[in-house]
Amino acid sequence: MSAKNPSVQRPQRKWRKLKLVLKITGVVVVLLIVAYLLACLVLGHIADRKIEAALTRAREAGEPLTVEELFPPVPSEQNALHVYEECFAILHQMPEERRHEDEMRLSPDPMDYELLEGALTNWRRLYPLIEKAAALPHLRFDFERALTAFGDDRLLEELADLRSLGRYLRAKALLSAHREDVEQAFNSCLLSYSLASHLEQRPLLMTLLSAFSPQYISSGTIVEILQQQTSIAEHVLVELLDQLPSFDYSGAFTRALFAERLFALRLLEAERGWGALGLRIVCAPSIEAYEEVIALSRKPYYEVLTSEAESELLHSYSGFFAPLARMAIESCTNVRGQVARAEASYEGLKLVLALRIHKLRTGSYPDSLAPLKEILGELPKDPFTGKSFVYERVGEGFRILIVARELRKGNDPKDDRKEKHRYWQLDQ
C-alpha cells in the first residue's frame, strides 16, 4: 500500500483548519448579533418604561402632552396670524436689495433723521396692520409644522420678518420723538411690546428667545427718548407706566420646555423599525431630563443660580446613552439665563420711569428706591438676586444695575462673567 503524498495532505489540513476557523467566527458573529439585538430589546424595553413613567407623572401633574393641551385653539377672529401674514406679504413685495438697504437705514449711527424718514416711507403701510394685530389677544402659528419640521426655513423666515417689524417700530418711535410727538413715540414702543407678547406664544426655546428682541428694542428706545426729551409731562409717563404689559417670564419658559418635550415625543412617533428602537434608547434620558428641568423652572432663578442644582442635574446625565439629555439641559440652562436678563431689563425700565416721575413731582431723584413704592406699589426684584435692584446716584442722574451677578456657583472664580453689570442710566 503506497504512502499518501504529503504535498496533497498539507493543503487539505489547511483547508479543514480554515473551515473550522470560519465556522467558529460565524458562530461568534451570530452570537454577537443575537446578543446585540437582545441588548437593544432589553434597553428599548427599559427606555419605554422610563418614557411611559415620565409621561404618567406629567399627566398626573396636569402638564400638557399634546399641541391642543399646550396651545388650545382660538377663534380665527382672535388670531393675529392673518394680520401678520399681511405684513409679511408687504415685506416680501419689496425688492430684497431695497428692503435690506431700508433696514440698514432704520438704525443709522449716528442718528440721521432725514435718512430715517426716507426709509420709513416705504414701510408706512405696515403701521395700521401692526396696530390691528396688537389689538388681537392671540397669535397661533402652525405648531404642528414647528414641532415636526425642526429647522424649517419658513419658521426662521417668519422670525426674521417679525424682528424687522420690531426695528421698524423703533425707528418710527425715534422719529416721532424727534418731532416732539412723544405720545406717538411711546405708542410705537407699546406696539413693539405687543409683538413680544405674541412671540411668547410661539413654541420651542428658539422662538422664545426671539420674543426678547422687541422687548430690548422697546425698552432701550424708551430710555433713549427720556434722555433726549427732558420735558415730557408727568401724566404721559404715568399713562405709559400703566399701559406697560405684564409678561409671565417663568410661565413662558415653562411652556417652551413643554413644547421641547413634545417635539422630542414627536421624533419618537415619526421613527419606525430598529431606528426607532435606538432613538428611544437615546431619547428616554432626555424625556426624564425635561421633567427635572421643568421642575427647576418653577423655582425662582436666584435659588437655582446660587445652588448646585443645574450642575448636579447635568452630572447625573453623564452616561453613554444620554448625549441628547445633556444637550437639552445645557440649552435650557442657557435660555433660562436669557429669560432672567429679559425680565431684569423690563423690570428695570419700570424703575426708570418711576424715578423720572418722582423727579417731576419732587424736583430731584431719590437717594434710594423706597419712595417709588408710592408710584409702583411694590418694588420689582432682580431675578438674579431675589432682592431689590442696585440703585446708584451718579452726578445729577442715576443708574440701575439690572444684572449684578452672572457667575454660577462652582465656576472658575477668575471667569470674567463674575461682575458683568448691565444697567439703565439717566441724566448723568
With residue 249 as reference, give the H or E element that holds it.
Answer: helix 249-270
- Strands 423-426 and 397-401 turn out to be antiparallel
- Specify the pLDDT at position 3: 54
Contacts of 7 (CB under 8 A, 6+ apart): none
Please enumerate, as own/partner, the contacts of 179-187 that have beta carbons within 8 Å and a separation of 24 or more: 180/229, 182/225, 182/229, 182/232, 182/236, 183/236, 185/221, 185/225, 186/222, 186/225, 186/236, 186/240
Query: Is residue 90 classed exposed, middle or buried when 0-12, 13-18 and 19+ CB atoms within 10 A define those classes?
Result: middle
Profile the chain (428 residues) by mean pLDDT over runs of 10 residues: 57 76 87 84 81 90 88 88 91 78 67 78 89 90 60 68 87 90 94 88 76 88 90 94 92 89 78 65 85 91 83 80 83 88 92 95 94 93 88 89 52 42 70
Q: Which cell numbers in the block locate residue 413? A: 472664580
Specify the pLDDT at position 205.
80
| CB contact set of 217 (below 8 Å; sequence gap of 6+) | 166, 167, 169, 170, 192
Give the torsion through C-alpha atoms of 197, 200, 201, 202, to 10 deg. 140
Residue 47, pLDDT score: 80
Q: What is the rounded CA–CA span in Å between residue 398 and residue 101?
A: 37
Listing from the earlier edge strand, what are the strands of the sheet with 423-426?
390-394, 397-401, 423-426
Decide: residue 374, CB within 10 A, 0-12 exposed, 13-18 middle, 19+ buried: exposed
All 3 cell numbers of residue 39?
Answer: 441588548
Distance CA 233, CA 10 (A): 109
pLDDT computed for residue 260 by the predictor:
86
* 408, three cell numbers: 454660577
Cell digits of residue 1: 500500500
Q: How remote is the C-alpha of 391 from its chain's centroid? A: 28
- DSSP state letters, 366-391: -SSSGGGHHHHSS--B-TTTSSBPEE
Residue 19: its pLDDT value, please? 79
**Grid cell listed for 5:** 503524498
Instruction: Yes or no: say if 118 and 160 are a contact pair by the CB < 8 Å rule.
Output: no
Name which of 54, 64, 15, 16 is nearest 290 in CA terms. Answer: 54
Rounded distance between C-alpha atoms, residue 71 and residue 141, angstroms: 10
CA–CA separation, 417 and 120 (whole Å): 39
